Amino acid sequence: MRQLLQLKQAEIRERLAEDQLRLKRLEVRLRQFEYVDGSPQEDWMSDHEVVIKKVEPLQAASVRGVIPSYDESEPIFDRLFDEVYGYVHRQGVRHVGCGIAIYHTAEVQESDIEVEAIAPVYGTLHGSERVQVYELPAVEQMACVVHHGPFATLGQAYRAVILWIENNGYHIVGPCREIYLRYERGGDQNNYVTEVQFPVSRG
């Protein structure tokens, strides 16, 4: 019994250490997204409704890269998405979904963040040395919030969903995703629609 309790203790400590790392990484990311507009916290919370939903698996064509910092992510993601969507269209695939960005870096760092640009594809597609094609797995519980407006205010959505996760007894169990539901490069950023997703579990 003593050994079983010690094993359980070690498992809990390991999980706490992992959660602390994730929390610190998110705090770093939120600092990069900081947006000061004079509005009280309740205002941006009320504008972002968080829901838990199941996300189905999808076939993903993806390329990975590294961004120097969160502030410099947009031009690098533009190049990554140009690369993956260009490859998909050259292979004759015309049914492609909205772009998805995934932030993979788990360590506490503000630079050299590993990222992935994904084009959801519907149809047969083979990868290349650079473009990987694989099934992005389903997520049973994904905490999601939809943000309307420019990327400069996307931090409001992050703060809303993270606060909601903490207040409702969930914890984050994987990398976050950004789904660009409405995005036109060079267009009016007030018309952008971005969904922020965090895989979560309870207990």
Instruction: Determine the pLDDT at residue 52.
Output: 96
50 within 8 A of 145, measured Cβ to Cβ: yes
Q: What is the pLDDT along the chain (203 residues), one digit of tens a residue?
A: 777 777 877 887 877 777 776 676 666 666 555 544 445 455 555 578 999 999 999 999 999 999 887 777 788 889 999 999 999 999 998 888 999 999 987 555 667 889 999 999 988 899 999 999 999 999 999 999 999 999 888 888 988 898 899 888 999 999 999 999 999 888 898 999 999 999 999 86
For the chain, the structural domain boundaries read 35-55+140-203, 57-137
Query: What are the residues whose beta carbons fall under 8 Å from the beta carbon of 157, sequence distance 6 or more?
Result: 48, 145, 146, 147, 194, 196
Measuring CA to CA, how many Å separate 190 from each of 115, 153, 179? 25, 10, 16
Sequence letter at residue 128: S
Report d(CA 46, CA 49) in Å as an integer.
7
Q: Which fold has domain 35-55+140-203?
A: Multidrug-efflux Transporter 1 Regulator Bmrr; Chain A (3.20.80)
Tokens of 103: 């932030």
Give the global pTM: 0.77
Instruction: Determine the pLDDT at residue 88.
Output: 94
Instruction: Determine the pLDDT at residue 143.
Output: 96
Comparing C-alpha atoms, which of 186, 193, 185 is closest to residue 149?
Answer: 193
Report d(CA 133, CA 118) in Å as an integer.
9
